Amino acid sequence: MDLPQLRPPERLLCGPGPTNVDPAVLEAMSRPMLGHLDPDLYEILHDVVGMLRRVYRMPDGLVLPLHCTGTAGMEAGIANLLEPGDTVIVGQCGFFGRRIAEIARRHGADVVLVEADWGDCVSNDALMEALDRHPGARMVAVVHAETSTGVEHPLAQLGALLRGRDTLLMADCVTSLAGVPLEVGAWGVDLAYSCTQKCLAAPPGLSPVAVSERALERLRSRRTPVPFSFDLLLLERYWIERPVTYHHTAPILAIYALHEALRSVLTEGLEERWERHAEAAAHLQASIESRGLELLADPDHRLAPLTAVRVPEGMDGKAVQTRMLREHGIEIGGGLGPDAPAIWRIGLMGRNASIETADLVLAALDAALVEEAAPALAG
């Protein structure tokens, strides 16, 4: 039987993720396959953990990639650090803050929401006021980079405010790791989770996490067991401890990809990579505003890797996205969730964080806007 080969079209991925994978990362995935218990793989695991620790800026505690998505990394953090009946304070100003709250409820936690409108940032003062009302709260959870709105939370300031408290701090760093300044250790973040398909520019499938020493102490003193697949202490025995203890069959090629992606980040320089993302975003955001379009995020809290643009009144936002995809081969995103405002979400992440890529997106957006506006003008 003559079956067709897989031939997906070429795309410039400038939506909320995934982003285009660096060619060197793809090449790494074609290297000889090792078994997950091969002693020669253990050195690769050791290297990945060491590089990931440097990218997270986490000098102590536990750092490793979970073999799952960013959402599963979110759930792993909740499952490890909260027990049924625990109180968690959640900052919610978009889709992913809401997801933290939903998952926490499913794990039996008592959720205290501190909310802000889409495009605004949850106030650290409001989070601390909630903690004063609920002093026994076991954790405060926020989204460092809210992918649904393009808002960056002032995480360093929140960590400073929580210093000296017995309340853990969890941060969603899915769209911030390797894209904006992030100092997990120095800022006092107790659990950070991310993914591989955004600013790291690797394929989806792994969720790098960083866990503080005091969070590990909390984990070791749990009264109830952690789900087996998410048990960080069991995973530590495979990734860190020697001899290795089998937990599950690791995704070897995804580990190769992460190894090369981290090596690329550190070769470029972490600060240089942050600056490259910032310069590309500044160019994109200024150019969008110069066209009379409005950005969603509060100017004081705009995220570099992801820019949310309000769709002009009367414009079919989805039709613009479709034109950009079909006529220009460029993917951008739309609003996420039923109550999201009408927006386009433009991502400049990893190798796509450049002024040149921003200009390609802007040119395609200009053309699509003209084409979509033409029928209305003719009418």
| Residue 73 lies in domain | 23-267
Q: What is the pLDDT of residue 372?
A: 85
Task: Specify whether the CB–CB gap between 117 and 93 falls below 8 A.
Answer: yes
Quickly state the pLDDT bin for 1 (edges 50, 70, 90).
confident
How many degrees, rounded to 5, is the angle at CA 352 between CA 349 and CA 355? 110
Closest CA to 93 of 159, 147, 56: 147
Please tell me whether residues 178 and 286 are part of one structural domain: no
CB-CB contact of 78 with 227 (8 Å): no
**What are the DSSP calls for 190-229, one per residue?**
SEEE--SSSTT---S--EEEEE-HHHHHHHHT-SSPPPGG
For the stretch 170-210, pLDDT in tens is: 999 999 999 999 999 999 999 999 999 999 999 999 999 99
Q: Per-residue pLDDT tens for 116-138?
A: 999 999 999 999 999 999 999 99
- 134, 78 contact by CB (below 8 A): no
> Is residue 82 a contact partner of residue 138, using CB atoms and an 8 Å limit?
yes
Q: Are residues 183 and 283 in the same domain?
A: no
CB distance 142 to 91 below 8 Å: yes
Instruction: Give the tens place of pLDDT for each residue, 319-332.
Output: 999 999 999 999 99
* Statement to judge: residues 223 and 296 lie in one domain: no
Among residues 235, 267, 299, the one where a domain terminates is: 267
For residue 226, what is the DSSP state? P
- Average pLDDT of the residues of the chain: 96
Residue 11: inside a domain, yes or no? no
Using DSSP, state whether 204 is helix, strand or coil.
coil
Does 100 lie in the same domain as 33?
yes
Is 18 among the domain residues? no
374 pLDDT above the threshold of 90: no
Query: Would you say residue 106 lies in a domain?
Result: yes
The pTM score is 0.96
Predicted confidence band at 379 (pLDDT cuts at 50, 70, 90)?
A: very low
pLDDT at 375: 57
In this prediction, residue 89 has a pLDDT band, given cuts at 50, 70 and 90, of very high
Mean pLDDT score, 334-361: 97
CB atoms within 10 A of CB 331: 20
Is residue 17, in this structure, part of any structural domain at all?
no
The total of other beta-carbon atoms located within 10 Å of residue 312's CB is: 15
> For residue 132, is it within any domain?
yes
User: What's the pLDDT score for residue 12?
Assistant: 98
Residue 88 per-residue DSSP state: E
Average pLDDT estimate for 259-277: 98
Give yes or no: residues 194 and 280 share one domain: no
> Among 232, 267, 302, where does a domain finish?
267
Question: CA 353 to CA 346: how far, in whole Å?
Answer: 11
Same domain, 185 and 304: no
**12 in any annotated domain:** no
* 207 neighbors 66 (Cβ within 8 angstroms): yes
* Per-residue pLDDT at 276: 98
Domain check: are 251 and 313 in the same one?
A: no
Distance CA 319, CA 35 (A): 47
Whether residue 177 is found in the same domain as residue 305: no
**Domain containing residue 334: CATH number:** 3.90.1150.10
**Cα–Cα distance for residue pair 125/91, rounded to 1 Å:** 11
Identify the domain boundary among 250, 267, 284. 267
In a domain, 15, yes or no: no
**CATH number of domain containing 200:** 3.40.640.10
Does residue 88 sit in the same domain as residue 160? yes
Q: Tell me, yes or no, whether 258 and 315 share the same domain.
A: no
Task: Indicate the residue type of 338.
Answer: P
In the chain, the number of structural domains is 2
Residues sharing a CB contact under 8 Å with residue 194, sequence separation 6 or more, in sequence order: 70, 73, 173, 174, 176, 177, 200, 207, 208, 209
Strand partners, 262: none
Q: Are residues 116 and 195 in the same domain?
A: yes
Do 62 and 165 lie in one domain? The reply is yes
For the CA atoms of 20, 142, 344, 17, the dihedral, rounded to the nearest 10 degrees, stands at: 10
Give me the phi and psi of 197, to 5 degrees please.
Answer: -95, 10
